[in-house]
Amino acid sequence: MSVELDVFVVNTTIMDEEVYQLWLDGYTVNDAVKVRMEGGVLEGCEASAEVLHSDTMDQYRTFQMCERLLHSPVKLANQLLFQIPPHRQVMLIERYYAFDSVFVREVLGKKLSKGTKKDLDDVSAKTGVTLKSCRRQFDNFKRVFKVVEELKGPLVENIRQHFLLSDKLARDYAAIVFFANNRFETGKKKLHYLTFQDFAFCAGQLISNWTVGALGDYNMVEDMDVDLEKEFLQDLKELKILITDRDLLDQHKSLVCTALRGKTKAFNEMEANFKNLSRGLVNIAAKLTNTKEVRDFFIDLVEKFIEPCRSDKWTAGDMRLYLTHYTNSAHVLDTFKHQVVWDRYMGVIKSCILKMYHD
């Protein structure tokens, strides 16, 4: 005897959150049944593995039927096929769009193309995330990217409205879209120590300070939050004077050193490295007009600034102190005329470096 057909349909669709997670994680039905058995779901119920299998199948089918709707979450609210209580809808969407940080770290900054998708099996092998789950996450990134690409207005808000995501998740997606659009390099070995949240934070800084939308000029331009503002990048070239003008460089150094003296144990290293570090930061700024250099933004920050400091054993406090005085001292330089650009640049750099400065 074999079960040929076995369905269970309810009027108010109930979904077991645990099974939903297993499905999202790409477990096969059999694996999911195993996990559930081990989880002790049968305890207290006089049920067999068969029952569990049937239940898991039913739920998996429901999820599959819902998946189409989850691709455009707004539809989920006014579709008629499934009667799902609103707070359950929220849960379904939020979980569906949630992603593994190990996975996102692998594709962050990569072009969301077919080619990348083809390599997902490698990513899957490397991260331990099932291929099915990798594909879902990748498709989610791509879907969000495609939708917001054509939209005007603020990025995070667009994502939140079109995908009904929580603020936190919408911000993460904004970061992913931003990275994918600018193709920031994140995969180099030196960057491995950085988490997705580090990058997401930096992306947030860049979006709110360096893009067209950052000016508070809500003309609802396309890509206003995705592309860095061209004019600003052009202006950044002017900062080069800080390192090309010898007087200015010395003056800057002495101002910073005066302010730092006696306040940190790493003072000697700071003093010795000042010119190198300053050159590093200003050069990064000057090169940002070149799209290819933009991609190396994070690797440059690490190589040119974070690594030297780390080898000199600066503490996080040292870093904060140094960057604060480094930024502020430039205002006192009377021949330096680019205060606004400098602040806009250093504000982001400072918070990014502080976020990235950890082991």
Please give the residue ranges that form the binding site for another protein (CB under 8 A).
Answer: 1-12, 14, 44-48, 50-52, 54-55, 57-58, 61-62, 64-65, 75, 77-83, 85-88
175 near 198, Cβ under 8 Å? Answer: no
Measured from the CB of residue 126, what is the shortest distance to another protein in angstroms?
31
Q: Least separation, in Å, of the C-beta of 166 and another protein?
A: 18
Beta carbons of 95 and 137 less than 8 angstroms apart: no
Angle formed by the axes of helices 339-356 and 196-210, to 10°? Answer: 170
Q: What is the smallest separation between the CB atom of 132 and another protein, expressed in angstroms?
A: 16
Does residue 152 sit in helix, strand or coil? strand
Q: Which long-range contacts (CB under 8 A, 24 or more apart) does 185-193 make?
A: 185/109, 185/295, 185/296, 185/297, 185/298, 185/299, 186/105, 186/108, 186/109, 186/298, 187/106, 187/109, 187/110, 188/299, 190/299, 190/302, 190/303, 190/307, 191/298, 191/299, 191/302, 193/358, 193/359
C-beta separation of 234 from 289 below 8 A: yes
Smallest gap from residue 68 Cβ to another protein (A): 10
Residue closer to another protein (CB basis): 65 or 272: 65
Q: Give the residue with the Cβ less far from another protein, 6 or 217.
A: 6
Instruction: Compute the least distance from the CB of residue 173 to another protein, in Å.
Output: 24
Q: How far is the CB of 8 from another protein (least distance, A)?
A: 4
Closest CB to another protein among 60 and 199?
Answer: 60
CA distance 352 to 350: 5
In the complex with another protein, which residue's Cβ is closer, 78 or 335?
A: 78
Question: Are 322 and 260 in contact, with CB atoms under 8 Å apart?
Answer: yes
Q: In whole angstroms, how close is the CB of 54 to another protein at the nearest point?
A: 5
**C-alpha to C-alpha distance for 222 and 158, rounded to whole angstroms:** 11
Q: What does the block give as tokens for 131?
A: 């291929």
Based on CB atoms, which residue is closest to another protein, 64 or 276? 64
Nearer to another protein, 12 or 335 (CB): 12
- End-to-end alpha carbon distance in the chain: 60
Q: Which is nearer to another protein, 14 or 316 (CB)?
A: 14
Q: Residues 50-74, buried b or exposed e (16+ Cβ, 10 A)?
A: eebbbbbbbbbebbeebeebbeebe
Nearer to another protein, 84 or 120 (CB): 84
Give the nearest distance from C-beta 83 to another protein in angstroms.
7
